[in-house]
Amino acid sequence: MAIDKLTVLIVEDDPNTANLVATYLQREGFRILIETDGARGLQAALEKRPGLVILDLMLPQIDGLEICRRLRRESDVPILMLTAREEEIDRVLGFSLGADDYVVKPFSPRELVERVKAILRRVRPVPQSDSPILQHGELTLYPQKHKVFLQGEMINLTSSEYKLLQTLMKSPGRVYSRSQLLSHFYAHEEAVVERVIDVHINKLRQKIESDPGRPLYIETVRGFGYRFAELTVDGKE
C-alpha cells in the first residue's frame, strides 16, 4: 500500500484532545484516522501508511515511545510526539527514537497544525532541475529522489537525519552551530533543546560512518558545532 500523504493518524487516548486536533487538521484538508490505544495505533500506522503520525506519549497497552521505536524499525513516517511531560530528558529521548517534533500539552491547535505542515514540507522532496547531486567519496545524496546511498547501498534515514545531512553536504567545510542547525528543522526553536542536534548527529554517524568514533564525513568542531568534511582537489580529504 502506498503512503497516503494527506492522511494524519492521531494516536491519543483523550477523545477531547483527539477530536480537537482532528477538527483543526480537517479544516486544512487533511484526512484523519484516530486510534485510542497504543496497540491499535501501531497497527494502523503500519497498515494504513499515513503521511504523518501524531503520537501521544502516555497510552494504554503500548506507550508512545515504544510505538516510535517500533515504527522506526519498519517505517520513516514523520512522527509528532504529543505529551503532557516537558522534561528535557523526555524530549531528547523522543528525538533519539526518531520523532520529528515534540509538542507539550496544553498547546495551541493552530500551532500544532503549523508544526504538522512544517514537518511535511521538510519530508516531501520538491523536484528541482537546479538541485545538484551531492557526493563525497562513496556517500551520495540525490535531492530529487530524496535518497542517500553509501557504497551503492541505499541508507534508510529519518526525515530529520536526511535534512541534516543535506544541509551539511551543501556547504562542505562550513561550521554550523547547533542553534543554526535547529533553525533548519523547527519553526519554533524554543520548543526543542540543542542536545537534539547531538542526538541526530550520533544516529546519522551510526548509519554513514564506518567508524562513528572517528568520523570521515561529519566532523565535530569543539566549542562551535559541526561541519561536513571537505574534499581536496584529488578527491580525498
34 and 95 inside one domain: yes
Of residues 186 and 180, more confidence is placed in 180
pLDDT for position 132: 83
pLDDT tens digits, 61-87: 999 999 999 998 888 899 998 887 666
pLDDT class of 192 with cuts at 50, 70, 90: low
Its domain, for residue 139, covers: 134-228
pTM beyond 0.75: the answer is no
The answer to whether position 129 is within a domain reads no
Distance CA 90, CA 73 (A): 20
97 and 141 inside one domain: no
Query: Which amino acid would we find at residue 178?
Result: R
The answer to whether position 39 is within a domain reads yes
108 and 142 inside one domain: no
Q: What is the CATH number of the domain that holds 196?
A: 1.10.10.10
The separation between CA 161 and the C-alpha centre of its own chain, rounded to angstroms, equals: 6
pLDDT tens digits, 4-17: 568 999 999 999 99
pLDDT for position 24: 93
pLDDT for position 11: 97
163 and 60 inside one domain: no
Q: Which residues contact 57 (CB under 8 A, 6 or more apart)?
A: 63, 64, 65, 81, 82, 83, 84, 85, 90, 94
User: Exposed, middle or buried, 178 (CB in 10 Å: 0-12/13-18/19+)?
Assistant: middle
Q: What is the CATH number of the domain that holds 112?
A: 3.40.50.2300
141 and 105 inside one domain: no
pLDDT for position 130: 55
Distance CA 89, CA 102 (A): 12
Is 1 a residue whose pLDDT tops 80?
A: no
Average pLDDT, the chain: 84
Weakest-pLDDT range from 89-93, 175-179, 184-188: 184-188
The answer to whether position 74 is within a domain reads yes
pLDDT for position 90: 65
The answer to whether position 110 is within a domain reads yes
Weakest-pLDDT range from 18-22, 58-62, 227-231: 227-231
Of residues 235 and 97, more confidence is placed in 97
Mean pLDDT along residues 125-137: 70
The answer to whether position 233 is within a domain reads no
pLDDT class of 231 with cuts at 50, 70, 90: low
pLDDT above 90 coverage of the chain, percent: 45
